[in-house]
Amino acid sequence: MAHILFRYHTPKQSVSNINAPPDFKKLLGDSAWQKLHPAVQRRFADHSLKTTYSGALNINANIFGFIFALLLSPFGHPLPLYRSAKFDARVNVFPSPCGGVVWQREFLRPDKTPLRVESVKQLSPKGHLLESVKSGPFGGIGMDLELYEHNGSLCFASTAYFFKIAKLHIPIPNWLTPGRTCVEHIDTQHLHGEGSFRFRMTMSHKWFGQTISQDGIFIDPFGSKAYGNKA
């Protein structure tokens, strides 16, 4: 997948107000945006959208991924502390007061108590897309993102990581992270029925291989009829 990342140039979004929500269409570029599945376009076009996606998620981590997750837990608990698990899951999406968009992921344990991971995608003052988790006792952790389109899917890839303490961002060397993160939002209604989509995330380290993966199928409560023509 690495070779795909260099086919697309992610334009910076000019920002007059640092609290402006991210315009994913503008960040991606009109040509690439038009190649996205219409259902994917809709999920990322409306910043005022409040919705909940329900589904199931498989989580896998090698020993290095588990160690990274453990070490990062004081910084907002960005990664579940499991080597291998399958969860019923909910993803709540809603606007953030800071101008970003919140993805609140709830992984339901066997006793149905939620393990919650919350992150927000927002713009930096220079117009770059950032994603950061809710800060823990020692601050938070985040990453700079670039966007690209691949076979009608919207993909996010990390370009750098940082610690976040108040408004201060401290760069993290790549070798001290779980690796390059790639997230894909893939429409799957042709496989799993109306309104379904696949969320797939992989984290790959230069030395430790694929450290963490998450893969699941979710249902969009708006269904497919809201998106116009089907692919």
CATH number for the domain harbouring residue 42: 2.40.128.20
How confident is the model over 210-215, as a mean pLDDT? 97
Residue 16 lies in a domain: no
**Ramachandran assignment for 192, one of left (phi > 0), alpha (psi -120 to 50 degrees), beta (any other):** alpha
In whole numbers, what is the pLDDT of the chain averaged over residues?
Answer: 85
Pairing of strands 84-95, 209-219: unpaired
Residue 4 lies in a domain: no
Q: How many CA atoms lie within 13 A of 136 on its CB side?
A: 15
pTM value is 0.84
Which of 49 and 133 is assigned the larger pLDDT? 133
How confident is the model over 180-192, as a mean pLDDT? 92
CA distance 50 to 101: 10
Residue 51 domain boundaries: 22-227
Residue 75 lies in a domain: yes
How confident is the model over 6-21, as a mean pLDDT? 50
Burial of 171 (0-12, 13-18, 19+ CB in 10 A): exposed
Residue 13 lies in a domain: no
154 contacts 37 by C-beta, under 8 angstroms: no
Cα 203 off chain centre by: 12
Residue 11 lies in a domain: no
Model confidence band, residue 93 (pLDDT cutoffs 50, 70, 90): very high
Tokens describing residue 192: 């799993």
Cα 98 off chain centre by: 18
Residue 8 lies in a domain: no
Can you give the pLDDT at residue 225?
A: 54
Residue 10 lies in a domain: no
CA distance 133 to 73: 11
CB atoms within 10 A of CB 227: 20
Residue 9 lies in a domain: no
How confident is the model over 32-43, as a mean pLDDT? 93
163 contacts 141 by C-beta, under 8 angstroms: yes
CA distance 195 to 192: 8
Overall domain count for the chain? 1
